């Protein structure tokens, strides 16, 4: 079995690529493979001019300083026994960047950037709300000033009202810092907000790639049309039309299951 097969993606500097698909489509595997958390069995992963599959351990260590990763569940990805400040500073410690004083200063800067009080550095993850924990996770991912950020469903575990504030914060930080990002999501409405380009995956393969406007306004592949038809809308008549469209696509066998 191949979780991902024949996927070819390009993320330009300063651009956000939204990678969308249903659960089990392989999108998280792609994100983890890009930063070396999951080894690829063939092909190439060219990041900043270096192929991760053939790079030496020393080269990979240097490259990882240029990566940031925001995990789906901040409660599981933050060490419950470490303070918020220690969690954010951990990448600095691992890569031996700066002194203790400069690390404390950098933590304070990142807390301010994600709109949390500096006093939160002394708190522990269980003392924070879900939205606050995800802000801490974002601060940790950005503490090294990465050139490439992988955000794996960063808002899926949050309430809708909290999602909006976190997405707005993400947009501001991306514009300010200029990092490229692979934004993984099953929610096309979220991707529409944050991404410049969109890639759609189904059963481990890419089915459509283009700018966000192109893919979401005039989808070419039946699977993309089915995903769009599944997005809820407030108008009951429009919602009924979307359900009928999705049912027709499924009945016609245009969408693999």
Tokens representing 231?
Answer: 């997005």
CA distance 212 to 31: 19
Output the pLDDT for position 239.
67
pLDDT digits (tens, 9 = 90+) for 75-117: 888 999 999 999 999 999 999 999 999 999 999 999 999 999 9
> In the chain, what are the domains?
16-211 (3.40.50.300), 221-257 (no CATH)
Query: Could you tell me how far CA 85 lies from the centroid of its own chain?
Result: 22
Tokens representing 135?
Answer: 């802000």
pLDDT digits (tens, 9 = 90+) for 19-67: 999 888 889 999 998 888 888 888 888 888 899 888 888 898 888 899 9
pLDDT digits (tens, 9 = 90+) for 211-232: 999 999 889 988 888 888 877 7
CB 242 within 8 A of CB 233: yes
Report the 10 Å Cβ neighbour count for 110: 23
pLDDT band at 7 (very low <50, low <70, confident <90, very high): confident
Task: Name the pairing type of β-strands 197-202 and 205-211.
Answer: antiparallel
CA distance 81 to 41: 36
């Amino acid at each position: 079995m191949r979780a991902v097969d024949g996927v070819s993606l390009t993320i330009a500097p300063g651009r956000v690529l939204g990678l969308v698909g249903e659960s089990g489509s392989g999108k998280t595997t792609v994100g983890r493979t890009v930063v070396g958390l999951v080894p690829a069995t063939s092909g190439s992963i060219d990041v900043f001019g270096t192929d991760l599959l053939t790079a030496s351990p020393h080269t990979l260590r240097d490259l990882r300083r240029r990566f940031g990763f925001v995990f789906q569940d901040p409660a599981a990805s933050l060490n419950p026994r470490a303070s918020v400040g220690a969690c954010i500073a951990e990448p600095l410690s691992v890569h031996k960047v700066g002194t203790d004083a400069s690390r404390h200063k950098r933590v304070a800067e990142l807390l301010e950037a994600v709109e949390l009080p500096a006093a939160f550095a002394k708190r522990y993850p269980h003392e924070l709300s879900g939205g606050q924990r995800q802000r801490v996770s974002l601060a940790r991912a950005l503490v090294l000033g990465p050139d490439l950020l992988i955000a794996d469903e960063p808002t899926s575990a949050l309430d809708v009202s909290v999602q909006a504030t976190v997405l707005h914060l993400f947009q501001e930080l991306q514009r300010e810092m200029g990092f490229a990002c692979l934004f993984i999501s099953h929610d096309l409405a979220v991707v529409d907000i944050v991404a410049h380009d969109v890639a759609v995956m189904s059963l481990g393969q890419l089915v459509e790639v283009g700018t966000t406007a192109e893919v979401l306004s005039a989808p070419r592949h039946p699977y993309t049309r089915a995903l769009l038809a599944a997005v809820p809308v407030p108008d009951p008549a429009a919602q009924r039309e979307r359900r009928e469209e999705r049912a027709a696509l499924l009945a016609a066998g245009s969408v693999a299951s």
